Amino acid sequence: MKGALVKRRIGTVDAVKGLTFEVRAGECMAIVGESGSGKTTTLLEIMDLTPPEDTTILLGGKDAGSMSNRERRAVRKDIQIVFQDPMSSLDPRMTIKEIIAEPLHSLGYEGDVDDRVTEMMGLVGLDPDQLDRFPGQFSGGQRQRIGLARALATNPKLIVLDEPVSALDVSIQAGVLNLLNDLKRRLGISFLFVAHDLSVIRHLSDRVAVMYKGEFVEQGDTDEVFDHPQHEYTKKLLSAIPVPDPAVERARHERAATALQGSGA
């Protein structure tokens, strides 16, 4: 799969509408927007692999809607997800070894599962000697690394990340983001990354799409969107990035509010 191309033309559903975007091989594509803008809805429809009416999801050039159940199951190993809350997304009754091995068993992994689980723990910077522990014995950042290890276990081509650091302390976020950057570089994996924090988006993504009320109002290379925003909503989001100077911060907020009111957005 060279990437995942997602096209949406939804006329009667207000959650997401008229979206077209592409995730290329080895890059991070980010979707950014405030809560309720439709980001997570977009991800869930992709992960379901059952497109709604008048919607097309192409995986490696093949329409997911026309796939047989067998083909859809085969594709699932190539697309994995990491959720926002690393505590609720990990079964507290399962050991870390069982959690990471779960997708390998369900997808019929033919190699040595124990070796693969150990490899994944090392890949995300955790001690394999801790495999017999339970999620509650780890910090939030460590639990998110465990979730990432589980997603990586099937050797996917695309990992979907739904606000993967927003539930973590700021001091922990940088370590997880640096790990994601390192994995993207080392493994050539693609990320579809959803967040509302533009500073996080800029650190990780190659391209970004700005979502407002279920639609993309702007998308392009991350540096271009950040340095030369075209839509007033994008400018408003950028104005929310903290600046050390209070006077500059206040002036930016005032300009963004005035521009947004004038645009009617």
Q: What is the span of the domain harbouring residue 161? A: 28-230
Q: Is 265 helix (H, G, I), strand (E, B) or coil?
A: coil
DSSP secondary structure string for all residues of the chain:
--EEEEEE--SS-SSS-S-EEEEETT-EEEEE--TTSSHHHHHHHHHHT-PPTTEEEEETTEEGGG--HHHHHHHHTTEEEE-S-TTTTS-TTS-HHHHHHHHHHHTT--S-HHHHHHHHHHHTT--GGGTTS-GGGS-HHHHHHHHHHHHHTT--SEEEEESTTTTS-HHHHHHHHHHHHHHHHHH--EEEEEES-HHHHHHH-SEEEEEETTEEEEEEEHHHHHHS--SHHHHHHHHTS--S-HHHHHHHHHHHHHHHHHHT-
Nearest alpha carbon to residue 179 among 207, 159, 157: 159
User: What is the per-residue pLDDT for 60?
Assistant: 66
Asked, for residue 41, whether it belongs to a domain, the answer is yes
Beta carbons within 8 Å of 207's beta carbon, 6+ residues apart: 27, 28, 29, 30, 219, 220, 221, 222
Q: Is 160 helix (H, G, I), strand (E, B) or coil?
A: strand
User: What is the per-residue pLDDT for 245?
Assistant: 52
Asked, for residue 182, whether it belongs to a domain, the answer is yes
Asked, for residue 38, whether it belongs to a domain, the answer is yes
Tens of pLDDT, residue by residue over 171-191, are: 889 999 999 999 999 999 999
What is the pTM assigned to this prediction?
0.79
Asked, for residue 247, whether it belongs to a domain, the answer is no
Give me the CATH number covering residue 179: 3.40.50.300
Query: Rounded CA gap, 131 and 129, in Å?
Result: 6
Residue 153 identity:
A
Asked, for residue 69, whether it belongs to a domain, the answer is yes
- The first and second tokens of residue 18, run together, are 């008229």
Tens of pLDDT, residue by residue over 207-248, are: 999 988 888 999 999 999 999 999 998 988 888 666 655 654
Residue 263 pLDDT class (50, 70, 90 cuts):
low
Tens of pLDDT, residue by residue over 2-56, are: 444 444 444 444 556 667 788 998 999 999 888 777 787 788 777 776 666 666 7
Asked, for residue 9, whether it belongs to a domain, the answer is no
Tens of pLDDT, residue by residue over 74-83, are: 777 888 999 8
Number of structural domains found in the chain: 1
Tens of pLDDT, residue by residue over 16-28, are: 666 778 899 899 9
Asked, for residue 12, whether it belongs to a domain, the answer is no
Asked, for residue 114, whether it belongs to a domain, the answer is yes
φ/ψ of 37, rounded to 5, equals -80, -15
Share of the chain above pLDDT 70, in %: 80
